[in-house]
Each structure stands twice: as structure tokens, then as C-alpha cells.
Structure 1
Amino acid sequence: MSTVDPRHSIFPEWLRKGLDGLYLVSGWLAGLFLIAIFLIMLALSAGRPLGIDVPAGDDFASWAMAASAFLGLAHTFRSGEMIRVGLLVERFTGRTRQMVEIFALLVGSAAALYFAWYAFDMNVTSWRFNDLAQGVIAMPLWIPQIGFSGGLIILAVAMTDELLHVLFGGAPRYEKPPAETAEEVIERAMQSGA
């Protein structure tokens, strides 16, 4: 089986850099929403004993949590940190393994595209009907839904990108190379929580 260099892309260099930048920005936004959750929760906790009310703090924290979770998906996938059951895939080598990877990426891409489409549709529907949050602050719901639908759209792009890469003979970029030293095995086991 001939494979292309895993760093090689079927896309032009400007598009490859743009896609990788999109995944990185998505990961950074997820991190910023984590910081927002921390600050909101800190304000809520510190404000209670002082009699300071943070209007709709719980709503904003939950919206930030959803945005953080979904915006982080593509970056997590491309970094090889997404939970993946490799028990079956790792048993194969060569062309058979490539076909199993393609099948898994095809199913994953189809699922991501399906959910991204309906999340986007929900976002547009909320905007069309001017759907408002039922909390203390009547915020248009399409605004916090952008993190949810945007994260799913970026994940669908990342999975389709990877599917095309593997279809054209590339090795999956989300796979980490095998550990070479005992220390590396221990470090990976500690990071995974195993």
C-alpha cells in the first residue's frame, strides 16, 4: 500500500493552512469559553454572600459550557485526543486497516454532517422566529446557539477533511505514532487516565 506523507495534503497549501487555522481557533474559543465559565461561576459564588446578583448567570454559564464543549470537538479530533476505540482497527495492517479507517471516517463524517445540518437549521429557525430565552434576560436564542451549531459544523469539516486525506492514501493524522520508550508509554497512560 502506498501512502502519502502524513504532512502532505490533497488541498492547496493556503487551504490546508486555513483549515488547520480554523481547527486551532475553534480550540482557542473553546478555551476562552472555559475561562468565561470560571469567571461567571466565581462571580456567582462570590456575589451571593455579598448580596450581589448576577442576572442570568446560570444561563450564561450553561451557554458557555455548550459552546466550549462543541467548539472544542474539531481541535480535539485533529489533535488525536478524542476518545477512539481502536481495538478493532489496531488489529489490521496495510490495505485492510486503511479500508477500516475509511469506513470509520465515513460513518463519523456522515453523523457529524447530519447533526451539523440540524443544529444549523435549529439556529436559523430560532433567528427567523426571534425565539427568546425564558430566563431573566430575554436574549435571542440564536446567539448562544452559534457555539453549538458552529462547533458541529467545524467538526463535520474536520472529519470530512480527514476522510478525504485517508481516501487519497494518507495516514490518519489523528493517530499518534507508537510510543518508543517506556517513559512515553507511562506518560500517555497517565494523560489518558488509564
Structure 2
Amino acid sequence: MQSHDVQDPVYTVHVGDNSGLIKKVSDLYFVDGDKVADVTWGRGVFWKQVDKSKYDIIGTDLKTGVDFRNLPYEDNSFNHTVIDPPYARITNLKGMVDCYNTTRHTTHDEILGLYRAGLKELVRITKPGGFIFVKCQDEIHGGKQKWTHIEIHDMAVEEFGLYTKDLFVLVNTKKPKPLYKQQHARKNHSYLWVFQAKK
């Protein structure tokens, strides 16, 4: 009987950073030679720990002249796709504005609108059976909890017919301190949805 190497288990909770999580998840779902579109590339931090020689990773964002809401790709042209739009409503970070088309006054509904427009395009360009990675985080808006990861799940399933393959929780090792009197627990985790396109 031939023995096969068994990779280390991939767990639903990862403590660390995005690059460590993406390495584990891509090792779990991708195969050598897969073509992957990361449509919110930024500085490419997702892929720092991934052996990029194994995959054809195409990274774009507004700084490269590509808006994830209107992608220049043919239908079903990628094995897998990745999106990580800004999930912080309020930002002064110039890089966020330049790469992702958000401003200091972006509302929660506008953030969801970015996800909706991006998902529509990713569904179009992802091959049947391919995986769509969606990074998100819940937030407080108007003093009320907004369970963004649930809203995105419902959007993906009900509006786009995607299958929910997995949900990963990324725990940030940095402990952000509240800058104001707390009324809710400070969030030190985010989510990575893995959806699968219809086969």
C-alpha cells in the first residue's frame, strides 16, 4: 500500500495575519497552475507567505487602473478570485482611498454596496466550481452592531447563488485600544468567507 503525506490540519480559527491565513487556505483549496484574480491587491500582503510560483496570481486595484466593480476579464476566466474591499467605514488612510475607492464618509450601506458590486463581477469571472474568497469584518454604525459577515453571507447565497464552503476567523495578535468610551466590545478578529461558484 502506497503511503501519502497528509498535510497539517487547517483550522477555522487562525491567530496571526492575513498572509498566514491565506497561505493555509490556498494550500487547502488551490492546485498547482490555478489562475487567481486578487481584485483588491493593494500591497499584495495576502500573498507574502504563498509560493507564488505554484499559481498564476493576477493582482489589480484602482492604483493599477482596474476597478473591481468593472473588471476587464472574460467570463469564467479564473479558477478562483479574491476580494478584500475596505470594511472600515471611516478612514483617513490615503492608500485605502487610492486602492479601494472609499472615503472618510463612507457609510455601512455603501460598504455593502462595494461588496455587492464586487461579488457580481467575481461570480462572472470565476469558473464553475471555483472558490471566491471574501474578507470582511463586522462594525459599529450609528451606535449599533452591523453583522457584516452575516449580511455578506446572505448576499452571496440569496443574490448570487453561491455555496458556503467555509468560514475562517482571523484573530489579530495586536490589541487595538478604544479611542472613545466603549459601548461594545472592541473587535480584534475578522472573517474570510470561502464561497464556491455553481458547478
Higher relative contact order (CA 8 A, sep 6+): 1
Alignment TM-score > 0.5, same fold:
no
TM-score range, shorter chain: under 0.3
Task: Name the one with the larger helix percent.
Answer: 1
Q: Which structure has the larger Rg?
A: 1
